[in-house]
Amino acid sequence: MADAGPTALVWFKRDLRLRDHAPLAQAQHFERAIGLVLIEPDWLGSPECDPRHVAFLLDAVRSLQDELAALGLPLLVRVGEAVSVLEALRREHGITHLFSHEETGPGWSYARDLAVAAWSRQQGVLWREWTQTGVVRRLRSRAGWARRWAQRMDAPEAAPVRGFKGPPGLWPDPLPTWSTLGLSPPLLTPPPAGEAVAWETLHSFLGGRGRDYRRALSSPLTAESGCSRLSAHLAFGTLSMRCVHQATEAAMLGTPDRALAYGLRGFASRLRWHCHFMQKLEDQPNLEWRNLARSVDGLRAGDGVHPDGVDQERLQAWCEGRTGYPMVDACMRQLRATGWLNFRMRAMLVSFAAYHLGLHWRAPGLFLARQFLDFEPGIHWCQMQMQSGTTGINTLRIYSPAKQALDQDPLGHYRRQWLPEWGTPAYPSPLVDERQAVAAIKQQLYTLRQQPESRAEAAAIQQQHGSRTSGLPPTARRSRSARPDSTQGSLF
């Protein structure tokens, strides 16, 4: 095509919003601008992806298309491999600049970004990326990381989006059908997505639901309303971390309700832990498939040493919620039916798989990734390892299903809701004896941790990945009191 001047392509990844969107703000200054959402075969075919994730993304894109069209920016939705799609758009529309946010994702997305970087250099397309979380690329040391996080989150939002000059005659693409994607519709209908829904959810939490947050987040009976329910919106970027942080700080300072302010301080700490865990995957991408502490290699079948030894019968029973442990099975049934579960029950599910059933974290982690609507790779894989005892540095937390039932569902309401066969002959006997199953692996892990080589390895892991509080103001340090090793997947 003839040269029509600089043309910017805004590549939406996990940032499906208008507000606090630096690539969009930059594209406003160009003679022409186009938006792009890529639905990639590598994502659809990945073992972490489920149709529920695709449905949530399409719902968010649907509303985003309308909002951007009103501002003059056509949002294209293309299915295909990234470099091929980008090259086709470059040829058709004369793309000169590619704008996007940085992404900390699974291995396939990392390889994709490397390929896009090579393509952009070869074709002379200037690719610029902006940060949208506290994750720091090419981080040399964790020293000062907390201060940098605070600086990013306290910085002003990206400039508001006013309007664009889109290429004449270019209209938003229709959304792909399930047949086009080669997928069946999800059995689960996910909750509404989009930026407006995300802000409504945040305001309802900061305006009152967060009052009982610290107590409500542990029990599945109270967590559904007492937690923020923002995790899926943050995972898909319909709301930015900076907006959540600043709105939470403003709500804490502005409310006369001391109970609400106290609850929101607990929530604020988890925003920091969110980025802390994502930083680990950024710094060490192979932790999504390899034990962080190599001293525990070979401890459980299914790891890199014994990859084919997973007990499929135990894994399947755990996945289907029929282990014979009512609290475990009820949690799995809720997760499969809704795509969400509160943090403590997530931790219990992983702990049970690792310690009671002796399963390596990789296979259960892939299954959970498909169930969690809010799947965030950095948080997910760090927590899978943490709850399985393979980080080498975190406290071993072995959750007793019986104690969790007593603490979180003392009258059995939750278990009866999700496990109607509980207490009848149809409900299976326990798959394993709890005391015997836990005792052996617990002893193995404690013995391993006492070895000199394990201690040296733990020191190195702590140096690379351990959290730092230096540089944070005293109020922020106090808000970090939430234990990072008591969270799983959804921190909120």
CATH number of residue 64's parent domain: 3.40.50.620
Residues 13 and 67 in one domain: yes
Q: Has residue 47 been placed in a domain?
A: yes
∠ Cα 319 321 327 (to 5°): 125
> Does the pLDDT at position 1 exceed 70?
no
Mean pLDDT in residue range 70-75? 96
Which residue type occupies 405?
A
- Is residue 130 helix, strand or coil? strand
The per-residue pLDDT for range 427-477, each reduced to its tens digit, is 999 999 999 988 888 888 888 888 888 888 878 888 888 775 544 444 444
At 32 the three-state DSSP class reads: strand
- Same-domain pairing of 436 and 313: yes
**Is residue 223 domain-shared with residue 95, that is, in the same domain?**
no
Whether 316 and 452 map to the same domain: the answer is yes
- pLDDT at 111 exceeding the cut of 90: yes
Note whether residue 262 is domain-resident: yes
Q: Are 293 and 279 within one domain?
A: no
Same domain, 395 and 440: yes
Q: Is the pTM of this model over 0.85?
A: yes
pLDDT of residue 303: 66
Cα angle 138, 139, 141 (rounded to 5 degrees) comes to: 150
Domain stops at, among 87, 112, 130: 130
- 182-191, 220-229, 284-293, 304-313: segment of lowest average pLDDT: 304-313
Residues 6+ positions from 103 with CB-CB distance below 8 Å: 13, 14, 109, 113
| Single-letter amino acid code for the residue at 450 | Q
Q: Check whether residue 230 and residue 305 sit in a common domain.
A: no
Write down how long the chain is. 492
> What is the DSSP code string of 204-231?
HHHTTGGGGHHHHTS-TTTHHHHS---H
Say if CB 153 and CB 476 are below 8 A apart: no
Residue 436 lies in a domain: yes
Kindly state whether residue 2 falls inside one of the protein's structural domains: no
Residue 265 forms part of a structural domain: yes
DSSP 286: G
Query: What is the pLDDT confidence band of residue 68, given thresholds at 50, 70 and 90?
Result: very high
Q: Do residues 295 and 252 both lie within one domain?
A: no
Tell me if 59 is assigned to some domain: yes
> Cα separation of 437 and 169, whole Å?
66
Q: Is residue 137 part of a domain?
A: no
pLDDT at 394: 81
**What does DSSP say about strands 32-39 and 7-12: parallel, antiparallel, or unpaired?**
parallel
> Of the residues 107, 130, 153, which one is the last residue of a structural domain?
130
Give CA–CA dist 259/273, Å, rounded: 22
Whether the Cβ atoms of residue 95 and residue 89 lie closer than 8 Å to each other: yes
Long-range contacts of range 429-434, CB-CB < 8 Å, 24 or more positions apart?
Answer: 429/324, 430/323, 430/324, 430/325, 431/314, 431/317, 431/323, 431/324, 431/325, 431/357, 432/314, 432/356, 432/357, 434/325, 434/356, 434/400, 434/401, 434/402
Residues whose CB is less than 8 angstroms from the CB of residue 122 and which lie 6 or more positions away in sequence, other chains included: none
CATH number at residue 426: 1.10.579.10
Q: Which amino acid is at 24?
A: L
Interval 287-309: pLDDT, tens = 999 998 888 888 887 665 545 57
**Residues 382, 264 share a domain:** no
Domain span at residue 417 reads 286-471
pLDDT of residue 233: 98
Interatomic CA distance for residues 263 and 278, integer angstroms: 24
Of the three residues 78, 104, 130, the one that is the final residue of a domain is: 130
278/385 same-domain check? no
**Distance from C-alpha of 165 to C-alpha of 31, rounded to nearest angstrom:** 6
Total structural domains in the chain?
3
Residues 277 and 294 in one domain: no
Residues 307 and 420 in one domain: yes
Residue whose C-alpha is closest to residue 261's, from 217, 214, 201: 214
pLDDT category of residue 396 using cuts at 50, 70 and 90: confident
Instruction: Give a yes or no: residue 407 inside a domain.
Output: yes
Cα-Cα-Cα-Cα torsion 341, 388, 381, 238, nearest 10 degrees, comes to: 20
Closest CA to 106 of 44, 30, 152: 44
- Examine the pLDDT at 134 and tell me if it is beyond 80: yes
